[in-house]
Every structure is written in structure tokens, then in C-alpha cells.
Structure 1
Amino acid sequence: MDQVSSEIITFYENRYDEAARLERRPQSRLERIRTLELLREVLPAAPARILDVGGGPGAYARELLADGYRIRLVDLVPAHVAQARSGEPPIDAVVGDARDLPEPDASQDATLLLGPLYHLHERADRVRAIREAIRVTRPGGPIAAAAISRFAGPVDFAATARFDERMLAESRRLITDGVNDSSIGFTVAYFHRVAELLAECREAGLADVVIHGIEGPAWPATEAAGTGPNAETIFDAALHLARVYSSEPDLLSASAHLLAVGTAPLG
């Protein structure tokens, strides 16, 4: 196991509760709602076979199981796999690396990469992970790959009143370097520009790629509102805007997360 993988496993097993993440904050609630909406728009009809790569403890996998899909989850973190297997309903889950998936060629009707791309520093590794998703997906099957937007961190710190001189310096650095400074709080990660994500998907061979902004441009307002008197009104407005501007090119980079949706090439 390489050092990067080891650091990621240590972070999620000892320092961070991924199982609770999607309900913890307004931004995360937006992420969950919009990711599921986007997936349900592009996935083939149940009971199609879906491979959930980097699926963590299984938050999305369980939703898709409830929809009638046949799900297999692959995650780098053994604790996540154990949580996925032991939850209700239990998920077919195995430990694995997105760069070398333990699945046969064209064995899946669709593949999800909702975590791996932003934990791979090197472009070659990210492209390799997308190619692996293509390899295991039947020709014409959909593939969805998530990324963290380059400027999400500084915007988040500003919206939640945590912005300081250190974050100001980080904001300037991110203009030219997307590698996360893990001393600030998150683990090994890479933050994408929209054009960069699109280029990596195309280099890997993904066809018909469309980039979506998952949370939309108003997600910082939901964080700033907190639990105040207008919180739910602002959240509802942000959700509507996320839907309306989902693939609007001029607003994509304002979202906290990006979702590249394409298909495994025919032939």
C-alpha cells in the first residue's frame, strides 16, 4: 500500500466520521439530495448492476438498493466496508482501489466514482481510475465521477465565519495549485477546476461528458444562514437554483462539488 492510501485510511478510520457527513451541514444535505437526483436521471432502470467505487459506509448505495438496484461497493477504507456490510440493509462490499478494480470487464451496467478522484493527487492516477470505471462498465453504460471544486474550501470558511490570514494565503495558493493542504483539516485531496475535470474524463476515454455543479451557486448562503430563522427558506431557494443551474457553464465552479456524467464508449 502506498503512503497516500495509508494516510487516507488513517484519516477516515481515526479522525473523521464519514457515515454522518451527508446529514451534518446544509451543504452536505444539498450534496446528498442533488447527487441522488442526478444519479436517478442517468442510471438505467432497476434492477441494473451498479458498482459504487469509493462508496464509503454506503449512504448512496443504500438509497439505490431501496430503488431496486443490485449494488456492489468498493472502498479503500476497511472500516467503511465493514460499516457497509453491517448496516441495514447490508451491502455487498469489498476493500479495493479505484485504480485497480477487482471486477471483470463490462460486468456493470453503471459505475459511480463519488469519492476517489478527489483523493488522488496525481493526474495519471485520476485518469487511471476513470479508465478502470470504463473498463468494468458495459459499453454505453453511464459513469458518474465526483470532484471537489477548486475554490470550495475558502468559500466555505468565509460562509462559516472561519476565514483568517491562513485561509487568505490558501485562497491565493489554490489559484495555481489544487493539492490540498492537509494541515488545515481535510486529508490527502485534490481540488479540480471544471476544465481540468472535463479534460481528465476525455483523456480517459469517457464519452458524452456533461459536468454538473452539485450544490449549485447558493450553497454558501445555506451555510451562512446556519440554523437561523430563514435557514429553511434559504435552503429551499438554494436547492431550486442548484436544479435550474445544474449544468450552466458559467456557474459550475461556484458549486462545492462537481459531477462528471458520461458513458462507457461503444466498441
Structure 2
Amino acid sequence: MSEIDHVRDFYDRTVEEEWLRLERNWLEFGVTKAFLNRFLPAKARILDSGSGPGRYALDLSAAGHSVDLRDLSHENIARAREEAGKRGLTLNTAQTGDARDLSDLSDAGYDAVLVLGPLYHLTSEEDRNRVISETIRVLKPGGLAAFAFISRFAAAHYQLKTDPAAIARRRGVIDEFLNERQHRLTPETDFFVDSHFVDPSEIALIFRDTGLAQRALFGAESMMAQSEWRLADLPDAERRQWLDFAVSVAETPAALYGSEHLVFIGEKSG
């Protein structure tokens, strides 16, 4: 089975977990939405490339944007359509697709493109570069692109958050994230599907010669990855205060190195 087939099969099997993930990972969702809302123009035409089951797309549609969804997983797309129907929302399109190949889309057609998942799962630099170049091609001049990455420190943050006593069982995976920057799904490795990880210091360099000017680079959990689930049980007022704090410091070095997920927002020149 190819890498892409692994990824498609993984998300077809875990669509319910992925739908619920951004409720559990509420800081990741809330901080990322806050930055998107800061930069997006009103009533933008948006492509959500690698949309998952559509959490971001549905929020953006509810805010008045025109959103096209694409994802490798048939089940994710079906769930996005279902949830849109429940909410009385209209998605412009929702279809399966590969972020590496947007050849059916015209140049400079979108005000913004979200790529909040595909770069996690491409272990080939060539494939990652194809995603970036295709994203930029379909952006209008002055348009915004948001790319998400998983930190090489994410496995350690996750293990500390979920089961710190299991360090002996998970030490190999933690070291793999940190040192190898790759994880491949095999019968012996059940931690995650095929994935690629970055150091926060490397992200700006990835986009240096792409024609994207950096508007933001932030840690989605904003230094609080290990506390995220504990804070989720707070009353709404207190949780809102922590989210506001998280947004205010999300671009600091402490937040970049204290997060599992990292997001770069760039503006297309011209």
C-alpha cells in the first residue's frame, strides 16, 4: 500500500475521531481560527485543501465565506456534507482530491487556501513542495495561504499529556519524531499514520523563495499543549481567558516550541 493509500485508509477509518478531535484539541482549533479571522477578508473565496471532515470549512461558511472542500478521504467528505446539512450551511463544493494536484483549478482563483493537514503526511520533500507550489498557483495576488505542520517535539508533548508513565513503551516513537523527522505506519507501529515533522526554526526557511511573505507563524496550542485537555473542563469564562492569552503569545518562541501543531500564514506577492 502506498503512503497516500495509508493516509486515505487511516482517515476513512477514523472520521468520527477526527470530527471530535478539534473539540478535545480546543486550543488548536480556537487559536488557529483566531489567526484566520485576523487576516481573512470579508466574504472570501476559500479552498480548504485537506479539509478533514470540515470543521474549519463549516465555521468559515457560517461566517459568510464561499468554501470549497477537498480531502483524500471519502468518509471525511461525506461527514462534511452531512454536518453542513445539519447546520443549514451551503458548501460551494465538497469532493475528494489530492493537495499535490489541483490541476482542475484555474490559476489565481482563491482569496485564501487552507492546507491544515496535507503537509503532515508527505514524507517526500518533492511531494511537500508540490503541495506548496499548487497552493500558491491557485491563490490570487495578495491572497493568503495557511499551512500546518506537526512539531518534532509533538510526540513528547502528547505523551506527557496522555500517559507519561508509558515512556518506556513510547520512547522509540518520541525519539523518532525528534531525530528522524519521519514516522511510517507498519504492523509494529500503531502510534500514527505516515507522517513528517519539523523544527519550528525551519518553517520560515521552507517558504523563503516561494513568493509568500510571512504574515504569521504561531504555535496552535501556544505553549500549553500539555495543559490543553485539563483546561477544556473549565467554565466558559475561564476557558475564554486562557484562549485569549494563548492567542496573545502564540507567536513567541515559547509557544512555537510548546505546541504540537505549528501554522504558517503567508501572503502571495504581486
TM-score (norm 1): 0.88
Q: Deviations over 1:221-249 (max 9, x none)?
A: 2335675xx68798556424421211113
Q: Corresponding residue for 1:170?
A: 173
1:259 aligns with 2:259: no
Deviation at 1:117, TM superposition (A): 0.8
Deviation at 1:16, TM superposition (A): 4.8
Q: Corresponding residue for 1:132?
A: 134
Instruction: Look up the SS of the partner of 1:93 in the other structure.
Output: strand
Name which of structure 1's ranges 173-182 and 214-223 shifts more when overlaid on structure 2.
Answer: 173-182
Q: Which has the higher strand share?
A: 2
1:95 aligns with 2:96: yes
Counterpart CA distance in 2 for 1:65 and 1:145 is 19
Name which of structure 1's ranges 90-99 and 202-211 shifts more when overlaid on structure 2.
Answer: 202-211
Residue correspondence of structure 1 range 243-258 to structure 2 within 5 A: 243-258=247-262
Q: Deviations over 1:107-166 (max 9, x none)?
A: 111111011110111122112111111100001111111111111122211122243213
Q: Corresponding residue for 1:40?
A: 37
Residue correspondence of structure 1 range 182-197 to structure 2 within 5 A: 182=185, 183-197=189-203
Q: Corresponding residue for 1:9?
A: 8
Alpha carbons 1:148, 1:191 under 8 Å: kept: yes
Query: Cα–Cα, structure 1 residues 231 and 67, in superposed 2: closer, same or farther, change >3 Å?
Result: closer
Query: Cα–Cα, structure 1 residues 167 and 236, in superposed 2: closer, same or farther, change >3 Å?
Result: farther
Alpha carbons 1:222, 1:238 under 8 Å: kept: no
Letter in 2 for 1:223: W
Instruction: Look up the SS of the partner of 1:103 in the other structure.
Output: coil
Instruction: Look up the SS of the partner of 1:175 in the other structure.
Output: helix
Q: Corresponding residue for 1:21?
A: 21
Letter in 2 for 1:81: I
Residue correspondence of structure 1 range 98-247 to structure 2 within 5 A: 98-101=99-102, 102-162=104-164, 163-182=166-185, 183-223=189-229, 235=239, 238-247=242-251
Name which of structure 1's ranges 84-93 and 53-62 shifts more when overlaid on structure 2.
Answer: 84-93
Report sequence identity in percent.
35
Query: Cα–Cα, structure 1 residues 40 and 237, in superposed 2: closer, same or farther, change >3 Å?
Result: closer
Instruction: Look up the SS of the partner of 2:127 in the other structure.
Output: helix
Residue correspondence of structure 1 range 41-80 to structure 2 within 5 A: 41-46=38-43, 48-80=44-76
Instruction: Look up the SS of the partner of 1:252 in the other structure.
Output: helix
Deviation at 1:50, TM superposition (A): 0.5
- Show structure 1 runs of 5+ residues with no match: none
Instruction: Report how many residues are paired.
Output: 259
Alpha carbons 1:56, 1:77 under 8 Å: kept: yes
Deviation at 1:19, TM superposition (A): 1.7
Counterpart CA distance in 2 for 1:264 and 1:168 is 41
- Show structure 2 runs of 5+ residues with no match: none
Letter in 1 for 2:168: E
Counterpart CA distance in 2 for 1:237 and 1:55 is 28
TM-score (norm 2): 0.87
Coordinate RMSD, CA, aligned: 2.2
